[in-house]
Amino acid sequence: MRSTQRYDEAVAGVGVGHTAELGLDAPLTLDCGVDLGPFAVAYQTYGELNEDRSNLILVCHALTGDQFVTGANPITGKEGWWPFMVGPGLPFDTDRYFVVCANVLGGCMGTEGPKSVNPRTGKPYGLSFPVITIKDMVRAQAMLLDRLGIEKIFCVCGGSMGGMQALQWAVTYPERVHAAIPIGSAAHHTAQNIALHEVGRQAIMGDADWRDGDYVSHGAIPRTGLSVARMAAHISYLSEAAMHRKFGRQLQDRNSVSYGFGADFQVESYLRHQGTVFVERFDANSYLYLTRAMDYFDLVKEYDGVLADAFEGCPTRFCLISFTGDWLFPTPESRKIVHALNAAAANVSFVEIDSDKGHDAFLLDEPEMFETIRGFLMGAAEHWSGGTP
Amino acid sequence: MTSGSRPARGGELRVDLLLIADMIEPGARILDVGCGDGALLRHLARAKKVDGRGIELSQAGVNACVARGLSVVQGDADTDLVNYPMDSFDYVVLSQTLQLVRRPRDVIDQLLRIGRECLISIPNFGHWKVRWKLALTGRMPVTEVLDRQWYDTPNAHFCTIKDFELLCGDLGIGIERRIPVDKQGHRMAIAGLLVNLFAEQGVFVLSRRNDGRDRAPDGERRRRRERRCAGAPPGGSGPR
């Protein structure tokens, strides 16, 4: 329960790092038509902003990530989610770059989301929170950068849902983005992606403790539903090879099967643990909203079926990265983006990295990914007129 | 496509690539198809400040290129050139790669659609040593340029310099220059019928001759160039 307490403190604005109150003068008009504002955006920074404000790397987190990219996460007590990438001497070298990561709109780590208190009612939004899109998240980040007084982004980078944001950034604000690195991402969510998310949402909404989204008022948490959602999702982040290597058919603390439905297998025990831990740090409604945002993401449709039109005239330098073992956002999805960028005569690099670690590979120690990113940033810096990153 | 741009020993640029590099104007937009580890692109970025891009089939080659700051995508000349818009490059380079592709004719067509000029080098199957070995031993020739056994070679379509020129004629492609080259890549002072017999490689500069199909209206071309300029950094790495 200790971590739940930490979580609640986070929502109350304690221990979430920096928080900016945005949309005070003019609200953010969301894709769904609702005006949001004022609203909070929680963010973390690493490294120093240089004098000409030209060394920003904006990191966009994935579905269940947060602003605590590296170092200790004060809410979970665990290490940040990208310790291999961000830090002194690492690809996003904090001796050189100013790294910013903001909790996404609709999130639950201090940025405005369904668990935030609606100032008009004094109660948590729950399902009355407007539906958020990837573009809304990006617009909110743009407002944060305006607040920080940073016009140009040297590089925006993210994996999975973070990659969607990186793409959306380059499409929506091409003149602000010098370089973009979408990793393990896609221009739209596939039917399979949506289907997997729907399983998770149904698990949450089918939990009696969800209370039509109003569980906070009832002092409840849809633990089982959220935990099952996480378990299903977690499978999609791994690969058969990775699961086999890690667990095989090994039994958990027993020598033979129990002829029952306990966690006989290690993989069952592992998934249950992942589900339980997740409930302690993540809000169930937030999970609904963020998965929905990913499902709605469709740059192809936004540009009437011609993805290349999304990048028409885009000056951003792109580096797309995919992993051979990622079946959730497989290489062909990245390749579609590469083809569209080529068709728009945009500057693009594309690297597929050999890894059997599944979708999660982008979060792991993948030396080839780091070399790729170092090289790409070096090339991007040579063509950067914004200053000295 | 890995044979594309392997550097010569000591990290210097292969001689035949130097020959190609010498023909490229500073600041040009260039696409190196089958760019290998990016040796030519690196050289051109340094020496000619070009806006260079590459396509490479081998993942190892691509990763090496991107890790060196080059804009390279993993791709296949047979299938991926169709994605590039017409006139997107001043030069398209295809070095020691044509014999590796499945449909050389279509690839050449594509190269000249997306580039104003095409610089292409091919191994010459009409070289006297090749003819001699085939005639004398009755076996598929293995030479220093064609250094693999028939069952082991990635090469799919060999041709002689004469064959290549005939194909260009059929396709309505203009041969602006033809440079006979020896096995090290040095220019050879030979001409006429001797070329097909004594050149180990041929380097060609191709251009569109029967164009009709390849000219966007001038206004459109200018607009595209201006757009590229707008996206290019100062310092002349955009188009001239």
Look at B231 and A314 and tell me if their CB atoms are within 8 Å. Answer: yes
Look up A359 and say whether it is catalytic. Answer: yes
Q: Are B67 and A375 in contact (CB under 8 A)?
A: yes
- pLDDT, residue A9, reads 44
Domains of chain A and any CATH numbers = 2-190+305-382 (3.40.50.1820), 194-292 (1.10.1740.110)
Active-site option among A54, A116, A160, A334? A160
- CATH number for the domain including B71? 3.40.50.150
On whether residue B71 sits in a domain, the answer given is yes
On whether residue B239 sits in a domain, the answer given is no
> CA of A323: which chain B residue's CA is closest?
B59
Helix (H, G, I), strand (E, B) or coil at A267: helix
Nearest-CA distance from A170 to chain B in Å?
13
Question: Could you give the C-alpha distances from A281 to A198, A325, B100, B236, in angstroms and in order?
Answer: 21, 28, 54, 51
Phi-psi region of B31 (alpha: psi -120 to 50; beta: other; left: phi over 0): beta
Q: Per residue in B112-125, pLDDT tens?
A: 999 999 999 999 99
On whether residue B133 sits in a domain, the answer given is no
Look up A189 and say whether it is catalytic. Answer: no
Residues on A contacting B at a C-beta cutoff of 8 Å:
313-315, 317, 319, 338-340, 342-345, 347-354, 368, 371-372, 374-376, 378-380, 382-385
Q: Are A212 and A358 in contact (CB under 8 A)?
A: no
Look up A185 and say whether it is catalytic. Answer: no
Q: Are A311 and A171 in contact (CB under 8 A)?
A: yes
Which chain A residues are closer than 8 Å to B69 by Cβ?
375-376, 378-380, 382
On whether residue B131 sits in a domain, the answer given is no
Give 10-residue mean pLDDT values along chain A (389 residues).
40 68 96 96 97 97 97 91 97 97 98 95 96 98 97 98 98 98 98 98 98 95 98 97 95 94 96 96 98 98 96 97 97 96 95 95 96 95 83
pTM over cut 0.95: no
> CA of A378: which chain B residue's CA is closest?
B69
Is the minimum CB–CB distance between B234 and chain A shorter than 8 Å?
yes
> CA of B46: which chain A residue's CA is closest?
A382
Q: State the total domains in chain B.
A: 1
- pLDDT, residue B210, reads 57
Which chain B residues are closer than 8 Å to A319 by Cβ?
66
Residue B28: HSE in the Cβ half-sphere, 13 Å Cα cutoff = 23
Using CB atoms, which residue from B53, B69, B224 is nearest to A382? B69
Q: Are A350 and A335 in contact (CB under 8 A)?
A: yes
On whether residue B238 sits in a domain, the answer given is no
Q: Per residue in B142-187, pLDDT tens?
A: 887 778 898 998 889 999 999 999 999 999 999 999 999 998 889 9
On whether residue B149 sits in a domain, the answer given is no
Q: Domain limits at B88?
A: 9-124+158-230
- pLDDT, residue A14, reads 44
Collect the ranges in chain B with pLDDT lower than 50.
1-10, 212-240
On whether residue B120 sits in a domain, the answer given is yes
Look at B69 and A378 and tell me if their CB atoms are within 8 Å. Answer: yes
